Structure 1
């Protein structure tokens, strides 16, 4: 069953299945067909997001357990609605002693029934980077001890974290010297700062609390997916969203298996018929496309969010904004330079262990004359310039070939003299060729692919995007921030491809992972239309901020100005300063320039927070901010409505992130995961503000004309006269039913401009868009 429209809910112990059941009538009234749930399996106690799964075989009791889940689904089914769930095949939470599978591995080592679940190098003890000092120092400080509970002995660290003692040491562990007992275990407690260099198991990105899962093993797939398959077979869910598919060894094979197992499950007669709806969290690089061989319905929408955001920006502002950023920050006006530096640093700082494992795998198959050092330099340099998250092997699909050619060209300036052949050899292995046994080559390729993906994510989205402040509305997950805007012509080409290849993919403009809310981005996008006026405003704000800056870097201050502008509330909010301070501290640490998660500079962070609070409390700044918002407010609201219209009318399944029926001026998590006032939203339907009114009307249109929106063609309209770059218009047709839609970009429609729709209908642009930036009709 393909959803008509989904509504993303973030479940945790503060918002349970019972809470969701209470809002089902409201979601139905709004026009939603499916709840799209964050992970529902048992996660670490108190988890606010659910991605740290500790037991994939049980529905999380903190959310209400299976009984409450069934009650929620029953309420949905009573209104012909359904459920989509987010699943996490790539990793599991391993913090503390809460994961029974991980505990069993620590207890029994490679003889554990769960040893094959986790991606562990068994040549040495499992490294557990949990100590605040070296092991020797921790023992000397009395931080390591023993604890007996339920007739078993445990090792404890800091009187809080427990680690199981192997069975053959249970008799009298307290009779052994502590150093001897620790040395005998299947794991080794280590200083947390050594993780990046010494970790011998794959983790999710650089998070020590999330261990990689070997989902490519058929037995592991069955163990971790039994619950999902049962829920689908019982008609309780209609599909899944797959988290971080690029972390898997074989994404294509996994997706095909998932499709086969879900669609092969018999469903109850009263459940909606299949096929299952499967979308994947896949970040597409510039010009990268998803292969239909994966047998999924599309991505979870980051690529769409990029396309819609980009078309709202004005390319003419790029040069001025780049120059302003360079003048203020002294940093490169070019994103590519920031990304290269971040990749180099992250590879050296956070992924040394994985890098060495990857190099070892290539060294095992390297021809004579290629030293390990040569291979290491080649692998490093390829990872510096990789244009996408990863390639897909070891069978090297044809879609990977253009990627390898781009890499070959980009890497040349970085290759040491005389070592081009080493780079070529690695590229040959990535293409499925080269010397070595098939199994060894596959292992080397796997290690490279599972390293290139986290390097891309951490270096670009979680580092460079916090350093590069040209225009923050272009810095979000899956965005090509080096490109300011997308032309209407290019946008049409992408939507035609979407209609042809991915008409059932998810369309979203806000997620639990976004760095700025959809209306925050819509507001900041206006700066690309008015760079000269923005420069004047920044100069004024800098003068106001000068007495409070106290050594705050001008680049950090400039990004603060943008964040204040983007998130500035319509009415005073008591917690606004706290929200900005939380964003600011996270941004500084992610940037890794003046502070970091590993070594926070709390003095500098406090200076930045003090500046933000001083500005929010400064009457002159508040007046200047409100005056500037008054200038750009109409354009910001225009962009907001355009996003709603495009998400609800273009080919695909629109997703509404929780609470975003009303203005979404959020920042990065946890700000975008704050509690939602559903009573206020339900009440607002009686007299809806413009965003909610448009959303409601379009969702009702989708309900009334399901086939048109689900299967209709996409054909661009012709814009006649001046201002063709300021209008976006298209037509969708299914049978005799036609949807026509037009929106105005970067200002009002130009006099004399006309819109000629493919069906032959011709309208004056002014007549269509005089009252609103969005127009549509269904005939």
Structure 2
């Protein structure tokens, strides 16, 4: 099977299983997809809607149909010559709950568990309450309160012969050596006799003998008298009684974990999480044994020919991304015996950052393309007015970078404080290990490290034994300069030490021993805190605080940059073709903040900033009767109200009338979900850790009045009219974005259902069920794209564009996979409003024309199509080409033509794709 030509991402869960995808395979093939790209399929926490919370990496999730269903899906794909790319989670597993046997074994046995080395745990914590223990922050409130309320009862599983405690969905195993105390207190002789044998498990080899003793206890428990004795024993540990409280607390103190409130995690956590999520524990996949155990099922699937490529989630969370990717590549090469399987990494690239070429991967999952096409579609002239408008009305900084730095300080001293302290402690050990730096204080290190991370321009560096790669050096320098500007002069010398300790001086030059180990450990801890700090500060905070223009706030975007010229887009395409020609190209993902067509529509506001500002001022006046009071302030506050208006403008369905009660009710339900998440992620007036219920209720009431009640009718109608006014230009942007994704160097990736318009909001809204029946029916009709422009609101025109373009890619795979990328010069009055390029390979040619910033060229007909006369004398200068015919329209380009009038080329369809050989 050939490599991916076009992929389509599917989100699997219990309501959309592997078997549910089987009857859709023919549709995907007819659409032009070569490979399905599946969300994680390994066994996740029951009820998972995304699959990233894996609890058993050795099995295909039974909720998705299990391995048999996977085989059925692959068989259907093979019949159509298609492949399957699988998303895997190497960085973490779901912990807590009662379903992860590896995690439960660590709780039961501590460092004696064979799985203790699987998780990234710091067993030697400086906290005396965590001496050799694992912090388990899953209690709803403070430990003493929850214990006294009887909410961590001691239980017995007769079938397994084990004691455990529970709290809601969480299970906390009691270590078998502690059974000695429990059983000795029993009034049954058989249990007391067994107690001494359990006590012996504390000795070497006890782990192996424990299973036999548990089985004996299980057999004993079948006897009614024994069961009665065990029930009496459990009653003696009822923490609602003073004696039971003391006994149960004493029992917990003997365990390899310390039960604690969920709030303690931010400061006291002694194991690495995925960002700040207590239920996701970091894995030490850099260790060969862990690598093999967590990937065994994946390798089996490759060996059996069931999967054809991998997408690696959150590569920046790993201790050594380069080493991991190279090990994975070597393993696949051995399995493939000459066959090549692509590997893609989920990597967010900062401004000026490129994926390292020595990782032996095929590229990223395409966030950077989302950013590049977005920059192309924003008018730089709108930046200044929109920043002023946002700052004056919302009261927040106009500069996105200022929001980011505020947010970084917030998360580093809040939800990620424990991770930050761990990195600082690691650096303190480095300082203490050198006679010349042992007087450096912990406070000095903390201050300098905080400012370094606050000013870090990328997610992380990739320090190895040879130090920082040259490719990373400019970003580290930038962070050092930013930190120097923020620190007092007295702390400047610390920056020189951090520069040296964090990869400036290779640790391999140090003699083997504690000092080398300390340097390496500090570098790993540093890099594993900068990545989550960036993600939490940017994606999960600043994106919800800065509303200059929400179309520039999405995963992988450099939101400090507002717009970029066509030359930058061309340069990025040329660079991608040179370095990663098979990289994925995405414009929507399961993680995006708003749908690809919402962003395309909101981008139009950059062209109409004055128009938008005038309407916004009017809406703020019309909204006065809808606002509530929250203390001395209105609710919603301006920052939240302004973001709501932009969200409505971007996501308003094209066919939704403001007086459609049922439609407005459904739409309002989606907006309520978005609003709650937006308020809490911003952490300004509410938060996930401390929801501000009265403020949220007032904001929800405002939204309800605006969208559903008579008091908001006037404002509702005006917002709907404004959304309708920019919708045609937004649709034109969408068609251009879609065409570019499928024709520039790289592999186009389609997100489920987005062959129709995508006006989704942040998850879970962007993971709603897809009406594939409507999509299949529309594709089967085979209508001409030009014909569908008149019915553009239903989204079929976008699907026709996708199908026609992917059909050309299927007929001429080498043209798009290996063809030259030739930027073409545009001249004439509207030259700035068109991007043009050609693809060339072995005598085959494709010519692509994509309008940009074309809002002013649209007429009042309300269609995303530009009248030919409005292009005036604008033309594209052509190289020597063969005769070309339109793939999306009936227009042709004669052989040898030196220039092409844009008005003629786009006379019947608003974007152009021409092919010839």
TM-score w.r.t. the length of structure 1 is: 0.97
2:535 corresponds to 1:457: yes
Q: 2:96, 2:171 within 8 Å by CA — same for their partners in 1? A: no
Q: Is residue 877 of structure 2 the alignment partner of residue 756 of structure 1?
A: yes
State the 1:576 CA deviation: 0.6
Structure 1 residues 154-189: Cα deviation after superposition (integer angstroms, max 9, x where no partner): 333445422111111124534671111000000010
* Structure-1 residue corresponding to 2:302: 232
Q: Which residue of structure 2 aligns with residue 287 of structure 1?
A: 352
- Could you tell me whether the CA contact under 8 Å between 1:744 and 1:769 is conserved in 2? no
Question: 1:731, 1:758 within 8 Å by CA — same for their partners in 2?
Answer: no
Q: Distance in 2 between matches of 1:495 and 1:397?
A: 24
SS of the equivalent of 2:541 reads helix
Matched, 1:668 2:789: no
The reply to whether residue 778 of structure 1 matches residue 779 of structure 2 is: no
Find the partner of 1:365 among 427, 430, 434.
430
Tell me the residue number matched to 1:575: 666
> What secondary structure sits across from 2:413 in the alignment?
helix
Residue 334 (str. 1) matches residue 342 (str. 2): no
The aligned residue for residue 142 of structure 2 is 134
Aligned residue for 1:431, secondary structure, equals helix
168, 172, 179: which one aligns with 1:170: 179
Native 8 Å contact 1:716 1:758 kept in 2: no
Distance in 1 (CA, whole Å) between partners of 2:336 and 2:37 is: 22
What whole-Å deviation, never above 9, does each CA across 1:624-654 have from its counterpart, x for those lacking one?
1232233222211100101110011011111
Q: Within 1, Cα distance between the matches of 2:550 and 2:58? A: 41
* Cα deviation code 1:278-305 (max 9, x no counterpart): 1100000011011110110000010111
CA distances 1:486-541 after superposition (whole Å, capped 9, x unpaired): 21011111111011111100001000000000011011000000001101111222
Task: Give the 3 Å change call, closer, same or farther, for CA 154–538 of structure 1 in structure 2.
Answer: farther
Partner of 2:853: 746
Deviation at 1:478, TM superposition (A): 0.8
**Could you tell me how far apart the structure 2 residues matched to 1:541 and 1:379 are?**
45
Report the Cα distance in structure 2 between the residues aligned to 1:95 and 1:712, rounded to whole angstroms.
50
Structure 2 CA distance for aligned equivalents of residues 131 and 571 of structure 1: 47
Alignment match, 1:343: 408
SS in 2 for 1:370: coil
Task: Note if contact 1:231-1:237 (Cα within 8 Å) is conserved in structure 2.
Answer: yes
TM-score (normalizing by structure 2):
0.83
CA contact (8 A) 1:425 1:434 kept: no
SS at match of 2:559: coil
Contact 1:43 1:60 in 2 (8 A): yes
Indicate the residue corresponding to 1:155 in structure 2. Answer: 164
What is the CA–CA distance in structure 2 between the aligned matches of 1:288 and 1:698, rounded to whole Å? Answer: 30
Deviations 1:458-506 (A, max 9, x none): 0011101100010001000010111111210111111110111111000
Matched residue pairs, number? Answer: 774
Please state how far the C-alpha of 1:139 moved relative to its aligned partner: 1.8
Question: Does the CA-based 8 Å contact 1:495-1:650 persist in structure 2?
Answer: yes
The one-character-per-residue Cα deviations of 1:303-326 (angstroms, maximum 9, x if unpaired) are: 111111111111110000001001
After TM superposition, give the deviation of residue 22 of structure 1 in Å. 1.3
Question: How big is each residue's C-alpha offset from its partner over 1:302-354, in whole Å with a ceiling of 9 and x where there is no partner?
Answer: 01111111111111100000010011111111111111110011100111211
Aligned partners of 1:156 and 1:163 also within 8 Å: yes
The 1:122/1:313 distance shift into structure 2, 3 A limit, reads same
Equivalent runs, 1:466-485 vs 2, <5 Å: 466-485=544-563
2:827 to 720, 725, 735: 720
Question: What is the distance in 2 between the residues matched to 1:144 and 1:284?
Answer: 45
1:321 maps to which of 386, 389, 410: 386
- Shift in Å, 1:723: 3.0
1:64-79 matches, within 5 Å, as: 64-79=65-80
Deviations 1:388-408 (A, max 9, x none): 000001332111111111112
Q: Distance in 1 between matches of 2:913 and 2:610?
A: 34
Displacement, 1:773? 2.9
1:734 corresponds to which residue?
Answer: 841
Distance 1:18 1:184 in 2: 47
Q: Match of 2:404, SS? A: helix
Matches within 5 A, 1:473-622: 473-550=551-628, 551=634, 552-572=636-656, 573=663, 574-617=665-708, 618-622=712-716
Indicate the residue corresponding to 1:412 in structure 2: 484
Q: Contact 1:146/1:153 (CA < 8 Å) preserved in 2?
A: no
Whether the aligned pair in 2 keeps the contact of 1:648 and 1:699 (CA below 8 Å) is: yes
Question: Is 567-576 or 640-649 further displaced after alignment?
Answer: 567-576
CA distance in 1, matches of 2:768, 2:357: 36
Residue 743 of structure 1 contacts residue 769 of structure 1 at CA under 8 Å; is this kept in 2?
no
Which consecutive unaligned segments of at least 5 residues does structure 2 have?
125-130, 183-232, 238-246, 432-436, 629-633, 657-662, 789-795, 858-869, 882-897
- Indicate conservation of the 8 Å contact 2:846/2:914, yes or no: yes
Kept in 2: contact 1:43–1:50 (CA 8 A): yes
- In the alignment, the residues of structure 1 paired with residue 152 and residue 713 of structure 2 have an alpha-carbon distance, to the nearest angstrom, of 54
Counterpart selection for 1:378 from 428, 435, 448: 448
Instruction: Please list every run of 5 or more consecutive structure 1 residues that lacks an aligned counterpart in the other structure.
Output: 268-272
Distance 1:333 1:510 in 2: 26
Q: Quick check: 1:131–1:157 contact (8 Å CA) kept in 2? A: no
Aligned to 1:170, what secondary structure does the other structure show?
helix
How far the C-alpha of 1:411 sits from its partner, in A, is 1.4
Query: Which residue in 2 is equivalent to 1:247?
Result: 317
* Mean Cα deviation higher: 153-162 or 325-334: 153-162
The answer to whether the 8 Å contact 1:131/1:191 transfers is yes
Cα contact 1:716–1:757 (8 A) shared by 2: no
* Cα distance, 1:160–1:308 mapped onto 2, change above 3 Å: closer
Q: Distance in 2 between matches of 1:151 and 1:734?
A: 65
Post-superposition CA distance 1:418-476 (Å, at most 9, x none): 22111111112222417862221110000000000000000011101100010001000
Other structure's SS at 1:365 match: helix
Q: 1:368 and 1:78 mapped to 2: Cα distance?
A: 67
Are positions 1:297 and 2:297 aligned together?
A: no
CA-CA distance at 1:753 after TM superposition: 1.8
Following TM superposition, by how much is the alpha carbon of 1:549 offset from its aligned partner in structure 2, in angstroms? 1.5
Which residue number in structure 1 is paired with residue 810 of structure 2?
703
Q: CA deviation at 1:622?
A: 3.1
Aligned twin of 2:205 = none
Query: In the aligned structure 2, how far is the partner of 1:153 from the partner of 1:224?
Result: 27
Q: CA RMSD in A?
A: 1.5
Give the Cα separation in 1 of the matches to 2:830 and 2:654. 32
SS at match of 1:364: helix
Kindly state the Cα deviation for residue 570 of structure 1 after the two structures are TM-superposed.
Answer: 2.3
1:270 aligned residue: none
Matched, 1:640 2:749: no
CA distances 1:180-231 after superposition (whole Å, capped 9, x unpaired)? 1000000010011111011100000000000000010011000001111111
Q: Is the 8 A contact 1:742 1:774 kept in 2?
A: yes
- Show the counterpart of 1:4: 5
Shift of 1:151: 4.6
Q: For 1:549-607, what per-residue CA distance to the aligned partner results, in whole angstroms no more than 9, with x for missing partners?
A: 21110111010000111111123424110100110000000000000000001111111
- Alpha-carbon distance in structure 1 between the residues aligned to 2:732 and 2:798: 10
2:520 pairs with one of 433, 439, 442: 442
CA contact (8 A) 2:110 2:116 kept: yes
CA distances 1:77-97 after superposition (whole Å, capped 9, x unpaired): 011001000000000001311
- Displacement of 1:542 in angstroms is 1.5
What is the deviation of 1:360? 1.3
| Alignment partner, residue 21 of structure 1 | 22
Measure how far apart 1:34 and its partner are: 0.7
